[in-house]
Amino acid sequence: MAHAAPPRPVTQPLPRHSAAVGGLTPFSTVDWPGTLAAVVFIAGCPWRCHYCHNPELQTRAARYDWRDVRAFLDNRQGLLDAVVFSGGEPLSEPRLPSMIREARRMGFRIGLHTAGIYPLRLADVLRYLDWVGLDIKADAQGYDDITGRRDSQRPAQACLTQLLTAGVDFECRITWHPDWLSEARLLALAGELARRGVKRFAVQSARASPDATPAWHLTAPAQAALQALFEQFAYR
């Protein structure tokens, strides 16, 4: 059957107007916890987090043809529940709204991973989203040290406000290392998120690579305190 196998990266440069699809995971249960999803990675991100595990996705570049990816998704109708757009920063892609609408028309639920860099673009697609994973990089004091960009907490807070107001299902998550944010500051940040109305929060211990064992672990009392703050708390 045509496009039964996942598409391969293109071998010839795509036209300049092509969507910057940088990667594809055909099947995932972890990118939208509890949901069977294909993950479409958009290449392009204006931030430069020092711990970024996807530096190859920071620069805008089309490595896959969206038409191939779309045909593959079309072939997966009934086999997958959802499509998650990730990155990089997926909202950096101007064609993302139409890509989301195309995936929705195939019957998929739509998830979005975002660092909260583009509040206006998030507002444009919010009504098409079923779930959002919003990165929280640090508290106000530590944000720019992580992202390498000035005043970077401001758009992320605006995105959080939108998600809270829209009532869309979402999770806030943080990649954590005690050298970047002490446990006390993490707990204060989590308390502020809970006060604002965040129901789902996840802490992921920083790793040298995605498959590496974390060098640091949250203490049991800190995990218990976080568990008590949220309806759902995950430590990954």
Per CB under 6 A, does 114 bind ligand SF4? no
- List 42, 49, 110, 203, residue binding ligand SF4 (CB under 6 A): 49
From the list 5-13, 85-93, 97-105, 177-185, the region that binds ligand SF4 by CB under 6 A is 85-93
Smallest distance, ligand SF4 to C-beta of residue 44, A: 9
Residues in the chain: 236
CA separation for the pair 200, 94 (Å, rounded) = 29
Nearer to ligand SF4, 43 or 82 (CB): 43
- 88 is a site residue for ligand SF4 (CB under 6 A): yes
Identity of the residue, 35 or 54, whose beta carbon is nearer to ligand SF4 in the bound complex: 54
Which one of the spans 19-27, 46-54, 153-161, 220-228 is the region binding ligand SF4 (CB under 6 A)? 46-54
Could you say which of 8, 48, 217, 236 contacts ligand SF4 (CB under 6 A)? Answer: 48
Find where tokens 């990165």 sit: 135
Q: How many residues in the shown chain lie near ligand SF4 by CB under 6 A?
A: 12
| Residues in Cβ contact with 214 at an 8 Å cutoff, skipping those fewer than 6 apart | 205, 206, 207
Q: Is residue 21 a contact point for ligand SF4 (CB under 6 A)?
A: no
Contact segment (CB under 6 A) with ligand SF4 among 48-56, 70-78, 155-163, 180-188 equals 48-56
Euclidean distance between CA atoms 191 and 225, whole angstroms: 9
- Point out which span in 29-37, 50-58, 166-174, 208-216 binds ligand SF4 (CB under 6 A): 50-58
- What is the contact surface with ligand SF4 in residues (CB under 6 A)? 45, 47-49, 52, 54, 57-58, 87-89, 115
